[in-house]
Chain A
Amino acid sequence: SSELTQDPAVSVALGQTVRITCQGDSLRNYYASWYQQKPGQAPVLVIYGQNNRPSKIPDRFSGSSSGNTASLTITGAQAEDEAAYYCNSRDSYNNLEVFGGGTKLTVL
């Protein structure tokens, strides 16, 4: 089966830009989706596909993909963006779903 690999932790200064990455073979065949999870809350979809945002998600969130790597970019990070971020895609080996291990984003 395929795995999705994320950096465990990333930090960004308030108002700066941060990129969170997700690597895996399945990303050559499937797009990633990204979920934001704040402590004690359920995950929320923030980006899906090439670069699609649900209507309630601020436009400072964007997505991109190249080869086996998908990226979530936050342009002008805000304090409320501090959260864990998880990527997800379909595993191209067995057509089952897989999540990355998550990245804890700290806004300094």
Chain B
Amino acid sequence: QFQVQESGPRLVKPSETLSLTCSVSGGSIANSSYYWAWIRQPPGKGLEWIGSIFYSGSAYYSASLKSRITISIDTSKNQFSLKLNSVTAADTAVYYCAPYTMVRGVSKFDPWGQGTLVTVSS
């Protein structure tokens, strides 16, 4: 069973780049049965999928955020990362990472990290 933990700056200035890392334990991030995902939740609002990456580096992103996102993976460190550029106050959210699988038409994110609140403010 994997465990995941988000880390990174809690405060980012408008127009700058938000950078977060997800550390994976309990198994190899190079496990071919899994993708690795970022999801966010603005305060008081619902969940929004940001994007997912495979150990090979193949990634796919939310259509609404695609122009501003880069997700990368470092198999040597068992970590994957999120960069979101040109942030605004609307990007203030709790950011979660999670392992993701899609098998026979069923997708699931499990387990989730505890989440990290990132605030965009000057």
Contacts and interface: CB of A to CB of B under 8 A. Distances in A.
**A and B are interacting partners:** yes
Nearest to A49: B106
Contacts of A44: 111-112
Contacts of B115: 42
Nearest to A47: B108
Contact of B110 (A29, A45, A100, A102): A45
B49 A97 contact: yes
Interface in A72-108: 86, 88-90, 94-102
Contacts of B110: 45, 48, 54
Contacts of B76: none
Contact of A86 (B37, B47, B61): B47
Interface residues of A, number: 27
Contacts of B60: 95-96
Interface string B58-78: 001111000000000000000
Interface in B92-122: 96, 100, 102, 104-115
Interface centre among A1, A29, A49, A54 (most CB of B within 10 A): A49
Contact of A99 (B49, B100, B111): B49
Contacts of A49: 104-106, 108
B21 interface: no
A68 B103 CA distance: 19
Given A43-B96, A45-B109, A101-B46, 16 more contacts: A30-B105, A31-B105, A33-B106, A35-B47, A35-B109, A42-B112, A43-B47, A44-B112, A45-B108, A45-B111, A49-B104, A86-B46, A94-B63, A95-B60, A96-B62, A97-B37
Q: Which 4 A-B pairs have the closest CB atoms?
A: A49-B106, A97-B49, A42-B112, A45-B110
Interface of A: 1, 29-31, 33, 35, 42-45, 48-49, 52, 54, 86, 88-90, 94-102
13 contacts: A29-B105, A30-B105, A33-B107, A42-B96, A43-B112, A45-B108, A48-B106, A86-B47, A88-B47, A88-B109, A96-B63, A99-B46, A101-B46
